[in-house]
Amino acid sequence: MKIPLQRNRDFLAGLMLITIGGGAMIIARDYPFGSALRMGPGYFPTVLGGVVAAFGVWVLISGLIKQEPTTRTWSVRALIVLPLTAVVFGYMMEHGGFVPAVLVLSIMSATASPKFKFTEQAILAIGLTVMSVGLFIYGIGLPYPLFGGH
């Protein structure tokens, strides 16, 4: 049975490895290679990039032979929301202060689930914020302002 390439698990994995390995080799061309005796900063990355890309070719070919599809289901919503939440939290730590940052972090990440209910998550967010302030700011003494940037 043939499956389309965009669902062929090992074909895709191989492609990823070739891209990263090959990319590393190309970038490493800008670094002095040196010799086996005095290896330059480009030596190790070039060799490694080659090794990774070579394994990539192997995995890619085996994918074409084995024809196994990807089996994991995933939620596009979570894939967008969660990384974005981490970014927003990072930004707010610099510009908004610890308390707003944690509140937003908790509520925003909760929206990644299709079963999001605002009241429930608001209570959780407040609880987590109070706990984090107690534990990290007063308990451990991390030097972050509660409100406002630094």
Shortest separation between residue 97's beta carbon and another protein, angstroms: 13
Q: Which of 84, 134, 146, 147 binds another protein (CB under 8 A)?
A: 84
Examine residue 78 and tell whether it contacts another protein (CB under 8 A).
yes
Shortest separation between residue 64's beta carbon and another protein, angstroms: 14
CA distance 30 to 49: 14
Distance of CA 144 to the CA centre of its chain: 25
Q: Which of 3, 20, 122, 126 binds another protein (CB under 8 A)?
A: 20
Q: Name the CA dihedral angle for 90, 93, 95, 96, rounded to a multiple of 10 degrees.
A: 120
CA distance 132 to 76: 29
- Kindly report the number of other CB atoms within 10 A of residue 90's CB atom: 12
Examine residue 109 and tell whether it contacts another protein (CB under 8 A).
yes
Burial track 68-84 (b if 16+ CB lie within 10 A, e otherwise): eeeeeeeeeeeeebeee
Q: Are 105 and 129 in contact (CB under 8 A)?
A: no
Examine residue 136 and tell whether it contacts another protein (CB under 8 A).
yes
Examine residue 87 and tell whether it contacts another protein (CB under 8 A).
yes
Shortest separation between residue 1's beta carbon and another protein, angstroms: 19
Percent helix, percent strand, percent coil in the chain, to nearest 5:
70, 5, 30
Q: Which of 4, 72, 119, 138 binds another protein (CB under 8 A)?
A: 72
Q: What is the DSSP letter of 8?
A: B
110-129 residues near another protein, rule: CB under 8 A: 110, 112-116, 120-121, 124-125, 128
Site string for another protein, 28-67 (x = CB under 8 A): x--xx--xxxxxxx-xxx--xx-xx--xx-xx--x-----
Examine residue 2 and tell whether it contacts another protein (CB under 8 A).
no
